[in-house]
Every structure is written in C-alpha cells, then in structure tokens.
C-alpha cells in the first residue's frame, strides 16, 4: 500500500491538506481514528467565526484574508453555502490589548471596520449591553463558517481527486526513513514518500512516535445554545462576536435559522487526556455558570439554555500555532497546537501544508509558527 503522501488526521487541517494534495496530482491516503466530521476534536458544534482584524496578532491578518478567499473558492467548487456574512463584533475595554490589536490590524491592512461606543452598539443591537468604557470594532465582511459542512465539502472533493480515506483506524506506529515513511495501524501497513500530521489533541501521542516532545496541552472546552428572542438575535440582524471582558474572553453566534444563541468561553478549561473519560457538558458547575454570568451581564434577557456540548482545544504556551516541517525529516509536515482559534485558517493551512510537502516551502509567512521556538 504505497502512496505519495499519507495524512494522519482527517479533521480540519488534515482534510483540507488532503484536498489540496490530491488536487495537485498526489496519490493521497487520509487516516483517522474516528469518522470526520465527529465530536471528538475541535471542529464540531456546527459553526466557527472567521474574523480578519485579529486580536491575537497582526501576523494573522493576511492569512485570515487568504483563508476567506479560499473558503469562497470552496463554496463555488462545492456548490454549497459554507459562509454566512453575519459580520463580527469584537468588543472590550478601550485599553484591552485584544481590542488594540484588532484596531491596529484593521488600520495596517485597510480593512473595513466601524468603531462604535457602547451606546451606538446598543442602539444598533438592542440585545447587547456593555459598560461605559467598552467599544466595539465591527467588521461587516467577516462572519460564520459552517465548520462540519466545510470538512464534508473538502472530503467529497478530495475523494473526487482520487484520495483514499480510511476512518476508524488508529495509527499504532510510525517509522520515519530518510526517504519515506511507514505507518502501521491495527489492520494494515502503509508506505509513503511524505507525511502530514494534523491530529489535534492527539498530537503529543503521534509526534512522540516521531521523536518530538512539544509543549502541547489538550484542554476541555464547553459551549451551549440558548433560547433567544429571534427579533434581537437572528443571524440576518445580529453579528457573531468576541468579547474581551474583565472576567474572561467569550465568543458567540447569532441564532442561525432558529437554532438559538450560541455562547462559549475561550479562556480557561481543564487539562485532559483525549483518550480518557471526558466529562460531558454540565458535569462541572462552571459549564453553565460561566455562560449564564456572561449573558446576565452583557445580553441581559431571559435566556434559558437549550443544550451544551464539549470540544477540545490543543494549546501551545504562547497560543500561536505550530506549522512547520519536522526538524530532522523534511518530508514530514506538522500542523498542531491551534489553541482554539485555528479553524478559520484551515483552508489556507491545507494549501500551506501541501506546499511544504510538494516544494518544501510556502509563499505564506509562517515564521510565527516555527517548531524551533520550542
């Protein structure tokens, strides 16, 4: 069973790279321990925000804009609506580092953005109440990605370009050679010229097979949907949002076709072993409590929870990604540690990973994501 490239992990980054590699004529095998899209990783929960002026650093802005372009291409090729142009409201104190970065990125790249004070925000979206010293940075060209549908679209197109996809098959051993790779599962042994590793929370386990010990920490995260006043919170009138508050960083989504207001907390969480037993939503007191406190302060209506879910962040110490070639095996590319803000970039990351495999380099600036910083 010989391939040009094996991709271990067929989730967000893996499925995208499998598509771009197969599109470029590579004979590709995608392997996954589960059956993506699934509820074991970081991509489930129906939706993800894509924002352009980036509070995590201006270095991300060009990648966010390229990602938006590639998501548009995926929509056209697949014939599916994958992006909802809801706009995105980033809000917080005027002294917030996050807000300052958002404004700086907008100015540097000439992004369309409107700066609003707390009263202007409430007038435009009566469902939001903010403290006097808060401002909002509204991006009208940003919005919401249908995350699971995006993965399905890449999956269908990768198959159409000849990629093989094997699911529910756990990798037990990887042997890196100077000119190739051997990957062993319970059922089969595969060989390839090159390898992409994009396994989310299982990165520490898989990368250890390649003699890499990176500071990656899987974290249990939660989010929930709430019954919402559709006049206030429907997706045609209300934006997706990120609020940098004094008690934590929260994100959320409008009610999409009546689904309810979706809220999650970005910071915090509990360290986990992804192969162990992970508590379901509501098993910890703070699961619902964190979200209700946020709603009570910033969206004070009679919000009753519909249901909640858990997902996994895989954190790096600096919360920047790892996207690079293996330091000893240049035919192995690694994508890991997306720290809870990676999905929006999975379109461009797939293209970058395919470039690293085929040509050994990429035209995108990924210096911030170097493996050597660890």
Q: Write out pLDDT tens, residues 224-258.
A: 999 999 999 999 999 999 999 988 999 999 999 99
The stretch 262-287 carries a mean pLDDT of: 94
- CB-based contacts of 219, cutoff 8 Å, min separation 6: 269, 270, 271, 272, 312, 313, 314, 315, 340
Q: How far is CA 307 from the centre of its chain?
A: 22
Query: pLDDT band for position 270 (50/70/90)?
Result: very high
Q: Is 152 helix (H, G, I), strand (E, B) or coil?
A: helix
Tokens of 348: 């461009």
Determine the straight-line distance between the first and last CA of the chain, rounded to whole angstroms. 35
Residues in the chain: 374
- By C-alpha distance, which of 48, 87, 42, 50 is closest to 70? 50
Measure the CA–CA gap between 313 and 265, rounded to whole angstroms.
Answer: 12
Quote the pLDDT of residue 9. 98
- CB-based contacts of 15, cutoff 8 Å, min separation 6: 30, 36, 151, 154, 155, 158, 350
Measure the CA–CA gap between 18 and 24, rounded to whole angstroms.
Answer: 10
Measure the CA–CA gap between 253 and 233, rounded to whole angstroms.
Answer: 9
Q: E strand or H helix at 92, and its extent? A: strand 88-93
Which structural domains are found in the chain, ordered by start? 2-43+148-215+318-373 (3.50.50.60), 88-140+217-313 (3.30.9.10)
pLDDT, tens only, 24-53: 999 999 999 999 998 887 888 999 999 999
Query: pLDDT band for position 181 (50/70/90)?
Result: very high
Query: pLDDT band for position 302 (50/70/90)?
Result: confident
Mean pLDDT of the chain: 96
Lowest mean pLDDT among 139-148, 151-160, 287-296: 287-296
The stretch 55-77 carries a mean pLDDT of: 97
Phi, psi of 310 (to 5 degrees): -115, 155
Q: E strand or H helix at 221, and its extent? A: strand 217-226
- CB-based contacts of 94, cutoff 8 Å, min separation 6: 133, 134, 135
pLDDT at residue 303 above 90? Answer: no
- CB-based contacts of 367, cutoff 8 Å, min separation 6: none
Quote the pLDDT of residue 42. 86
Whether 352 contacts 365, CB under 8 Å: no
Q: Which residues are catalytic?
A: 44, 47-48, 262, 266, 311, 344
Quote the pLDDT of residue 94. 93
Quote the pLDDT of residue 40. 85
Quote the pLDDT of residue 144. 98
Count H helices and E strands in the chain, helices first: 9, 20
Question: pTM for this one?
Answer: 0.97
């Amino acid at each position: 069973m010989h391939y040009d490239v094996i991709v271990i992990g067929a989730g967000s980054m893996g499925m995208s790279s499998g598509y771009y590699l197969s599109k470029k004529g590579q004979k590709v095998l995608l392997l996954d321990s589960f059956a993506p899209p699934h509820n074991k990783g970081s991509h489930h929960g129906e939706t993800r925000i894509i924002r352009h002026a980036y509070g995590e650093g201006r270095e991300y802005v060009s990648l966010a804009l390229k990602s938006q372009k590639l998501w548009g291409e995926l929509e056209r090729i697949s014939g599916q609506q994958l992006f909802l142009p809801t706009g995105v409201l980033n809000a917080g104190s005027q002294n917030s580092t996050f807000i300052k970065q958002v404004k700086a990125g907008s100015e540097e790249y000439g992004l369309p953005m409107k700066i609003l004070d707390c009263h202007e925000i409430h007038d435009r979206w009566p469902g939001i109440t903010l403290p006097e010293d808060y401002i909002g940075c509204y991006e009208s060209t940003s919005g919401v990605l249908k995350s699971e549908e995006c993965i399905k679209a890449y999956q269908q197109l990768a198959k159409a370009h000849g990629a093989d996809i094997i699911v529910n098959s756990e990798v037990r051993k990887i042997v890196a050679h100077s000119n190739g790779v051997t990957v062993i599962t319970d059922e089969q042994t595969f060989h390839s010229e090159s390898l992409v590793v994009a396994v989310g929370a299982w990165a520490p386990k898989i990368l250890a097979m390649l003699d890499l010990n990176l500071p990656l920490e899987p974290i249990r995260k939660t989010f929930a949907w709430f019954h919402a006043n559709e006049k206030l919170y429907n997706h045609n009138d209300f934006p997706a949002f990120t609020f940098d508050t004094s008690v934590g960083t929260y994100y959320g989504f409008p009610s999409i076709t009546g689904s309810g207001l979706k809220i999650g907390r970005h910071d915090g969480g509990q360290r986990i072993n992804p192969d162990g037993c992970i508590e379901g939503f509501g098993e910890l007191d703070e699961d619902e409590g964190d979200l209700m406190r946020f709603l009570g302060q910033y969206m004070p209506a009679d919000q009753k929870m519909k249901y909640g879910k858990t997902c996994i962040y895989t954190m790096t110490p600096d919360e920047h990604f790892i996207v690079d070639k293996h330091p000893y095996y240049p035919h192995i590319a690694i994508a890991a540690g997306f720290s809870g803000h990676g999905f929006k970039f999975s379109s461009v990351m797939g293209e970058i990973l395919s470039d690293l495999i085929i040509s050994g380099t990429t035209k995108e600036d990924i210096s911030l994501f170097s493996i050597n910083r660890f």
